[in-house]
């Protein structure tokens, strides 16, 4: 991993761009409020609504693809660039619990901390979140794409909920993002091993 970059110095790095002005994108940063599994604002006054420009370009493509498929629909962003210092707080909370599988070990670096991952959902033309079967940061098997077929067969995931997940996933993958097996809301803009080897982590 290359040298880190301090969050406070990001203005000196034009490759990290704000995403709050992207068409078809609305911010709902959960770690910048108490509406998260920790129950407190982890970002304080610094709300890093940014991504690396490569990820931001793909996010814009995904939003355009969503609008093409469903006029008036938007992407609602739960988290984007997450500084390493915040990742350590999350890890310290879950590291000795079964939920540790959902949080990247900061020793390796979350892809969020490189500005190359985004957590998000879809909202309709009235600004209502589509029903995905669980909320954001749900630490159960129901939230995991790898269990969707079984959950659908068991009646725990409805056809409409699965269709909503697939709408999000298809738009993101069309734009070049990669889904993961454990969280329906999380997408990465590049192979995680490549990111860790070639990009700088934001602290």
Q: Which residues are annotated as a binding site for Zn(2+)?
A: 112, 119, 186
Which of the following is catalytic: 65, 123, 148, 183?
Answer: 183
Distance CA 57, CA 193 (A): 20
Q: Binding site residues, as ranges?
A: 112, 119, 186
Q: Does the annotation mark 15 as catalytic?
A: no
- Residue 117's φ and ψ, nearest 5 degrees, are -135, 155
The backbone torsions φ and ψ at residue 161, rounded to the nearest 5 degrees and listed phi first, read -65, -45
d(CA 40, CA 47) in angstroms, rounded, equals: 14
Among candidate residues 175, 193, 179, 144, the one with its CA nearest the CA of residue 63: 175
Q: What amino acid positions are annotated as catalytic residues?
A: 183
């Amino acid at each position: 991993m290359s040298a880190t970059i301090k969050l406070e110095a990001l203005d000196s790095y034009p490759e990290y761009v704000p995403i709050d002005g992207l068409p078809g994108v609305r911010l709902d940063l959960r770690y910048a409020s108490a509406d998260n599994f920790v129950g407190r604002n982890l970002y304080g006054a610094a709300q890093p609504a940014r991504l690396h420009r490569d990820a931001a370009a793909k996010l814009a493509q995904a939003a355009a693809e969503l609008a093409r498929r469903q006029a008036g629909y938007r992407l609602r962003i739960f988290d984007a660039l997450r500084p390493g210092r915040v990742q350590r707080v999350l890890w310290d909370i879950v590291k000795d619990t079964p939920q540790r599988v959902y949080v990247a070990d900061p020793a390796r670096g979350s892809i969020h901390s490189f500005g190359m991952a985004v957590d998000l959902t879809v909202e309709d033309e009235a600004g209502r979140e589509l029903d995905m079967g669980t909320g954001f940061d749900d630490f159960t098997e129901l939230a995991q794409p790898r269990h969707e077929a079984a959950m659908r067969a068991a009646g725990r995931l409805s056809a409409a909920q699965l269709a909503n997940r697939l709408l999000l996933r298809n738009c993101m993958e069309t734009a070049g993002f990669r889904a993961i097996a454990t969280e329906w809301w999380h997408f990465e803009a590049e192979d995680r091993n490549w990111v860790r080897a070639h990009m700088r982590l934001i602290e």
